[in-house]
């Protein structure tokens, strides 16, 4: 079946979140003229990729970007002392759309835009749902140092399914997957199988399970946010990971890919 044509529109980066990114935006013209770095230069970027749908070429609902914005704000706040800024990617369309993989292409465009704006800075791709799959696909870009995939969506396997999602692009990256065990929207077992394949070629891969929680991970939100901030800061700025993250990265499968996220994790990581 022929794919439906994608309307002519462009992906966009949302406004920078975090003082470093705001200062850099105001100083962009001066920075280009002097060909130097301002005192408020960005030292790292968290690129947030929202959820979406399996198919659809209509413009994405603004709700998807709004839903991930609090996550972006939390990460920007945690990384502000290090000079981090965060952006939410606005897709061209709302669907993955099979082999077209539109959100993954938009993520690659966003990475190029980050390099254009900020230069050679490390990037952490942070995706939820379909956005998590896009983040994993786009991880081969040279700017990417790490990937955080929250409740990633993968299509159900079947006789007519495409080849399994690639994992070779994850080599050399720090990779963390997080999934609720009671998720009824995206299958946690599929994310485990993906992590298992990734771990075989990239030892710096781990996965946490949030027991009894669903797709939105709302029951353990503080712990998930703290885990995300700890991983991002450690992967971008060489901070020491919290011990559970270190243990998960070091442990062989299945233990390092089914690491339980303990209650109270957030309280122990207040900076």
Provide the CATH number for the domain around residue 106: 3.40.50.1820
Q: What is the pLDDT of residue 36?
A: 42
Q: What digits encode the pLDDT tens for the residues 94-130?
A: 999 999 999 999 999 999 999 999 999 999 999 999 9
pLDDT over 50 (residue 37): no
Q: Which domain holds residue 117?
A: 12-33+40-269
The whole-model pTM stands at 0.89
- pLDDT tier, 89 (very low <50, low <70, confident <90, very high otherwise): very high
Task: Tell whether 146 is covered by a domain.
Answer: yes
Q: What is the pLDDT of residue 23?
A: 53
Q: Report the percentage of the chain scoring pLDDT > 90.
A: 81
Q: What is the pLDDT of residue 7?
A: 62
3-state SS, the chain, equals CCCCCCCCCCCEECCCECHHHHHHHHCHHHHHHHCCCCCCCCCEEEEEECCCECCCCCCCCHHHHHHHHHHHHHHHHHHHHHCEEEEEEECCCCECCHHHCHHHHHHHHHHHHHHHHHCCCCEEEEEECHHHHHHHHHHHCCCEEEEEEECCCCCCCCCCCCCCCCCHHHCCCEEEEEEECCCCCCCHHHHHHHHHHHHHHCCCEEEEEECCCCCCCCCCHHHHHHHHHHHHHHHHHCCCCCHHHHHHHHCCCCHHHCEECCCCCCHHHCC
Task: Tell whether 4 is covered by a domain.
Answer: no
Task: Tell whether 2 is covered by a domain.
Answer: no
Task: Tell whether 126 is covered by a domain.
Answer: yes
Q: What is the pLDDT of residue 222?
A: 95
Q: Which residue has the higher pLDDT, 163 or 132?
A: 132
- pLDDT tier, 186 (very low <50, low <70, confident <90, very high otherwise): very high
Mean pLDDT in the chain? 89
Q: What is the pLDDT of residue 271?
A: 44
Task: Tell whether 150 is covered by a domain.
Answer: yes
Q: Which residue has the higher pLDDT, 265 or 1?
A: 265
Task: Tell whether 7 is covered by a domain.
Answer: no
The tally of domains found in the chain comes to 1
Task: Tell whether 1 is covered by a domain.
Answer: no
Q: What is the pLDDT of residue 31?
A: 41
pLDDT over 70 (residue 144): yes
Q: What is the pLDDT of residue 242?
A: 96
Task: Tell whether 208 is covered by a domain.
Answer: yes
Q: What is the pLDDT of residue 105?
A: 97
Q: What is the pLDDT of residue 127?
A: 98
What would the mean pLDDT of 240-261 be, rounded to a whole number? Answer: 97
Q: Which residue has the higher pLDDT, 9 or 232?
A: 232
Q: Which residue has the higher pLDDT, 141 or 270?
A: 141
């Amino acid at each position: 079946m022929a794919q439906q044509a994608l309307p002519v529109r462009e992906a966009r980066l949302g406004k920078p979140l975090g003082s470093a990114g705001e200062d850099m935006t105001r100083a962009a013209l001066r920075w280009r003229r002097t060909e130097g770095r301002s005192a408020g230069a960005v030292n790292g970027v968290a690129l947030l990729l929202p959820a979406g749908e399996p198919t659809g070429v209509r413009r994405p609902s603004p709700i998807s970007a709004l839903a991930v914005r609090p996550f972006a704000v939390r990460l920007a706040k945690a990384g502000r002392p290090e000079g981090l800024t965060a952006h939410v990617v606005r897709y061209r369309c709302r669907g993955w759309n099979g082999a077209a993989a539109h959100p993954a292409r938009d993520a690659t465009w966003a990475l190029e835009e980050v390099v254009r704006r900020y230069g050679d800075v490390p990037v952490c791709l942070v995706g939820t749902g379909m956005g998590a799959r896009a983040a994993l696909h786009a991880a081969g870009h040279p700017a990417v140092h790490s990937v955080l995939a929250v409740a990633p969506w993968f299509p159900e396997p079947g006789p007519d399914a495409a080849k399994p999602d690639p994992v070779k692009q994850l080599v050399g990256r720090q990779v963390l997957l997080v999934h609720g065990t009671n998720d009824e929207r995206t299958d946690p077992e599929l994310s485990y199988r993906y992590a298992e394949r990734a771990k075989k070629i990239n030892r710096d891969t781990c996965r946490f399970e949030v027991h009894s929680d669903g797709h939105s991970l709302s029951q353990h939100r503080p712990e998930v946010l703290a885990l995300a901030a700890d991983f991002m800061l450690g992967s971008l700025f060489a901070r020491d990971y919290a011990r559970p993250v270190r243990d998960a990265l070091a442990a062989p499968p299945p233990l390092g890919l089914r690491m339980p996220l303990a209650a109270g994790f957030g309280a122990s990581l207040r900076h």
